[in-house]
Structure 1
């Protein structure tokens, strides 16, 4: 039997920072992950400016830059006759976003956790929780054919959409919304493009620069997924020609790297974020359509909120810890819910006359373009943006 203060399940964008921040408080932390070290993951890759501010504060931004992911300081959004170019907002000492490959980013975050004193174990499958006095007191996991039992005062689930920890505690789902979009994406080398978004009727194209390539993602309504999955290459090409013909032309001179990947499991939900002796971080506790690419940044926010809650508890004694974990859950929902609602609105892929008129007005005003960029990055909540936008209206 191994004894720790905290065991975190999932060593990616939610779990690795949470483990590192908790270890920085002097706690003994074990970080488990079922994947191999440095393994890749389905992802939009994009880290918004507030997420980059965390990377800067955690001292790993130079490593992220060294992966070759270029700085992204402007967004181009095209829909019908509207072309809107919005600058990235200044957050924490810079205005750049980045889209590093997940194998690189997750490895960097894992190394930072190890450097902080976290014990990291990969290729470990969690099978059950250990309970004591009506609360989790650790877990059991299997690695290389051997069983291990870990005792800990706090169990953190950061193990993604299909979280084992969320199922074991169990966490209740709420604010669940039907799937809205599906996606086909791939990587291209030699594409001349910045960070671009193109919208058509029922279609959306996202172009994101990463290390040595661009991600080109085509989104469709979820009702199209059965048809899209039959011919992902044909669907990707049709989407580009209809919604982003300029991207289709430029791709003709680029080289696709690897295969196209279809993604239909665009779940939208919240799960209970905490309970006696446990908490959830990242996709384990909250997931929304990937079209707005908020997953990584939101995971960073939640890791920071959880670490602050544990620090405020000042002790891992149940009464103090559980009260602060409950406060963490409330704050997570307060932070995440506005962007959840706005993502659901965008992921319907509707092009409305009212929205087009609003975008034309934004495109014509440098101040509104800056506010729009701040809203996309998550510096402003949708409510804050709308209130300020209304005040500027003629």
Structure 2
């Protein structure tokens, strides 16, 4: 057990939730000299999130590298991810430029492998105490700020005091609810189901995403020869879908342009999903408190951004608050810096995702960019950077890119769509 050194605090930081965001934050804070209690409500160190795209977008690769997880992910069989996107104008197929660098990537890896890996990494980090079977039931408050948590444990209730409490406990965050954090919700008018298939042959082993306007689907190859197949139709189709879930799920996949060959693979999981997954964003800070990962912002599952944003937000928090959390600065000012970074980096992405979650067809600007990217290699690479969340909406729709897309489409006016495959 790490010995406390500051009077009045058991730890510098207590984190609720030892999944991706919480474990990453614990590691990065501890490496900066912060004493961390990492609480996990489940007792099994190998517990993992089931409903997930199982994909980490390329924006989070620097965080994985800083955490030292890249060699372990490669050893575990994680698949370097890129994707092809089907549109009514043909396939968008990002490829590296001639004589240019390879496309940025991160990894597809099942959470049953990823979650225990990062949690065990956190537990081995000096300065981190992983406390399993600790469920936060209340917050300790003094003078209008949070100063710790109350947790239920196998030995009864305990209080843990800290300068900073971090909610890394998912979209239904108990910490956020206990603190009364303001939240904005956006309706998602799609539902989703997914299943895992083993030995599913995909062209070049590369993932596929289908933009069917408004329906969506994707195929993401993962470790151990397992591919995640997901469908995200308009909720108008839900009543018929529910009448025969398995039949509807498989029929949807078989009807996709360039459909994955299901009969050549083995389904190795149940069909699971959700019929109501609203997007939300919360104010990510309050006096003595911060939120990371899905607790702060929940993205639309169809974009596969949740894991990447969980890791990034953990890093932004550690960079902003570490000195103050260890007692060497103004914590409130540090939290303002974190909130500002979180808002600047993610708010534009969230607004676009929330608008697209209305299950609408492409708007005119999206039609311009997607159609041009299906016809032009440079714009396909540009699309890859945006889908990987390496550039934001303003850079994606910058005047030069829009002008190029316009010129490309003018040259291809009347040309037939590229064939599906």
**TM-score, length of structure 2 as denominator length:** 0.86
Q: Does 1:10 align with 2:17?
A: yes
Query: 1:232–1:261: 8 Å Cα contact kept in structure 2?
Result: no
Are the structure 2 counterparts of residues 231 and 56 from structure 1 closer, same or farther at C-alpha, using a change threshold of 3 Å?
same
State the shift of 1:153 in Å.
Answer: 1.0
Are the structure 2 counterparts of residues 83 and 26 from structure 1 closer, same or farther at C-alpha, using a change threshold of 3 Å?
same
Q: Deviations over 1:230-276 (max 9, x none)?
A: 4321221232233x14325x111111002100212322111111111
Out of 67, 70, 76, which is 2:84 matched to?
A: 76
In structure 1, how many angstroms separate the alpha carbons of the residues matched to 2:95 and 2:103?
12
Aligned position for 1:155? 165
Residue 290 of structure 2 aligns to a residue whose secondary structure is strand
Residue 153 of structure 1 aligns to a residue whose secondary structure is strand
Are the structure 2 counterparts of residues 178 and 351 from structure 1 closer, same or farther at C-alpha, using a change threshold of 3 Å?
closer
Are the structure 2 counterparts of residues 128 and 102 from structure 1 closer, same or farther at C-alpha, using a change threshold of 3 Å?
same
Q: Deviations over 1:278-305 (max 9, x none)?
A: 1111111111211101101111111111
Aligned position for 2:138? 128
In structure 2, how many angstroms separate the alpha carbons of the residues matched to 1:300 and 1:102?
14
> How does 1:1-394 map onto structure 2 within 5 Å?
3-35=10-42, 36-41=44-49, 42-72=51-81, 74-87=82-95, 95-117=104-126, 118-174=128-184, 176-193=185-202, 194-211=206-223, 212-242=225-255, 244-248=256-260, 250-311=261-322, 313=324, 316=327, 320-352=330-362, 354=364, 355-356=366-367, 358-387=369-398, 388-392=400-404, 393-394=406-407
Query: 2:16–2:40: 8 Å Cα contact kept in structure 1?
Result: yes
Query: 1:2–1:151: 8 Å Cα contact kept in structure 2?
Result: yes
Query: 1:6–1:28: 8 Å Cα contact kept in structure 2?
Result: yes
Query: 1:266–1:288: 8 Å Cα contact kept in structure 2?
Result: no
Aligned position for 2:5? none
User: How much is the aligned-residue C-alpha RMSD, in angstroms?
Assistant: 2.3
State the shift of 1:45 in Å.
Answer: 1.0
Give unpaired runs (5+ residues) of structure 2. 1-7, 408-421
In structure 2, how many angstroms separate the alpha carbons of the residues matched to 1:170 and 1:56?
35
Q: How many residues align?
A: 387
In structure 2, how many angstroms separate the alpha carbons of the residues matched to 1:364 and 1:246?
18
**TM-score, length of structure 1 as denominator length:** 0.91
Are the structure 2 counterparts of residues 59 and 93 from structure 1 closer, same or farther at C-alpha, using a change threshold of 3 Å?
farther
